[in-house]
Amino acid sequence: MVHDAWIFPEDRCDTVRMQRQLTTEERAELAEALRCIRCGFCNSVCPTSLIPEAYKPSRTSRGRIVMIQAALTGSNLDLFDDEVSELMDLCYGCNRCLAVCPAGIPIPDLIRSYRAALRRRRMGTERITRFYVETLPTLYDLPRPLRNLLFSLAPKRLIARYIGLARDVRLPVPEGRDVLEVIRRAGVLGDRDAELAYFADTYYRYVRPSSVERLMLTLRRLGYRLSFPSQRDSGILLWEDGDLERLRSVAEENVSSLVKEVERGRRVLTTSPAATLMLRSVYPRLLRTPDADEVSRAVVDVCELLLEISESRSDALALKEREVTVHSSCFSQHLDLTKKLVGALENLGAEVTSVRRECCGAGGVWGLLEKNRSVSRKVAELLIPHLRGPVVTYSETCQLQIAELYGQSVYLPFEVVAPREG
C-alpha cells in the first residue's frame, strides 16, 4: 500500500532494491525528475490533480514526480507496484504542465519513460492500442464484403468489453469503408495537380471517414486537390504507452512515404491534433533525421488551413451555426491551434460566445476506458456546466466525450463549415 508520507522521504534508505529494479538506462531516462523543485505549479493545470480525490499528494502531478524522485534517491517505494502504477496512470499526457513548469521538466516524457520500464516487466500492450494500431488495419486489408460481414457479426458490446471501454461509452464502430472512398466520391482526389497530401490517421481513415466528407466537399469547391499517400496510424497510442521501439518503426514508414509528397511541393494536411503533434513534434525528436524535419515543416493542420481560407476567401464558405462555444482541447492548447480555430470562425462571421479551456476528461482514449471512467467524468464536471449552445471542439475523442455528457450539438471544426451555395 502507498502511504502518502512515503513520497516525501526525509531519510535515505538502502538503494540495492531499487537498483535491481531500475536499469542504468532507465535511471538516466528518469533522472529529469531530480530537477523537480516541488513547487506544485503542474498541479494547478493537471486535470486529474484538480478533482476532489487529488487532496492526496500521491494522486497529483507533483506526487507522481516525487515518487520517481524517491525511487531514484533510495526510498524503499516499489515503483512498479500495482498501486503505484495506477497512480502513475492518472497522467494521460495532456501536456498542460509543460507550459508552467519553471524547471522545464518534460513531465509527460517522464511518465512515458516510466510506462516503458513498466512494459518491460509486464510484457504487455493495452488491448485498445492493439485494436486500433494492428487489428483495424489488418481487417481493412480484407475484401470489403468480408470485412463488412465481420463488422456486422461482431457484437459491439463484446468488442467494447474486450478493449476495455466503459459501459456508458458509445463504441466508435468502424463504418466499413476507407476514407479514400470518401475522398474519391467527393471528387477531390488529385494526381500531379494535388497540392495537399492527406494524412488521415486511424480514426478518420477507418472508424469515422464520414466525419471528413463535408471537408472534402468544401476543398473540392475551393479548387483544392489531395493526394492520399501510403500511411499507417500516427502511433499516438504507442507513444502514450512508451512503446518507442514500435513507434519508431511506424514513424519511419510514415516519414518515408510523406517525404516523397513534400518533395513534390505538397503540404501534409492533418485533421487531428494528435496527428499534428506526432508529425510536427514527436517524429523529429524520435527519428532525428532530415526527412522527419522536412515532413514536420510541411505539416498544415486543418485549423491552420481553415484560417488561411477564411482570410482570403471567406465569401466562399458558410457556417452551420452562427453562435458557438469553443472547447479548447489539451493538444489544441499545446499546439497553439485554438486561437487559429477561433480566428477562422470569427472571420466567417461566427460569434464565439466563450472559449472554455477546461479538460473534458477524455485524454485521448484514456477516459473512455472502464478503469479510468470515474476519474474522467469527474474531470469533465469542471467543464460541462460552463458550456452553452452548440460546441466546437478540435479532437475526435473530446467530441465523443462532450456529446455523451453534454447532450447538445458538438462539432469538429470542419463539420461546422461548408461551401456557400450559389
Q: Give pLDDT, residue 19.
A: 45
Cell reading at 387: 458550456
Angle at 398 between CA 341 and CA 160, to 5 degrees: 150
Q: Give pLDDT, residue 8.
A: 46
Q: Give pLDDT, residue 270.
A: 98
In terms of DSSP H, where are the helices of 264-329?
A: 273-277, 283-287, 290-298, 302-312
| Total residue count of the chain as it appears in this document | 422
Query: How would you classify the pairing of strands 351-356 and 323-327?
Result: parallel
Q: Give pLDDT, residue 76.
A: 79
Q: Give pLDDT, residue 347.
A: 96
Q: Give pLDDT, residue 422.
A: 61
Q: Give pLDDT, residue 163.
A: 84
CATH architecture of the domain with range 314-419: 3-Layer(aba) Sandwich (3.40)
CB 417 within 8 A of CB 351: no
Query: How would you classify the pairing of strands 299-301 and 323-327?
Result: unpaired
Three-state secondary structure string covering 123-184: CCCCHHHHHHHHHHHHHCCCCHHHHHHHHHHCCHHHHHHHHCECCCCCCCCCCCCCHHHHHH
Q: Give pLDDT, residue 10.
A: 40
Cell reading at 150: 465481420
Domain spans of the chain? 11-122, 129-304, 314-419
Partners of 418 in beta bridges:
318
Q: H or E stretch including 85?
A: helix 82-88
Distance CA 8, CA 41 (A): 17
Block mean pLDDT (10 aa), the chain, length 422: 48 46 87 95 97 92 95 85 93 96 96 91 78 83 79 73 83 80 95 94 92 95 96 94 92 98 98 98 97 98 97 90 96 97 96 97 93 96 96 96 93 92 68
Query: Is 1 exposed, middle or buried, given 0-12, 13-18 or 19+ CB atoms closer than 10 A?
Result: exposed
Q: H or E stretch including 186?
A: helix 179-186
Distance CA 66, CA 63 (A): 5
Q: Give pLDDT, residue 133.
A: 84
Distance CA 91, CA 46 (A): 8
Phi, psi of 74 (to 5 degrees): 110, 5
pTM over 0.75: yes
CB 227 within 8 A of CB 197: yes
For domain 11-122, the CATH class is mainly alpha
Rounded alpha-carbon distances, angstroms, from residue 150 to 121, 224, 270, 277, 287: 35, 36, 29, 33, 37
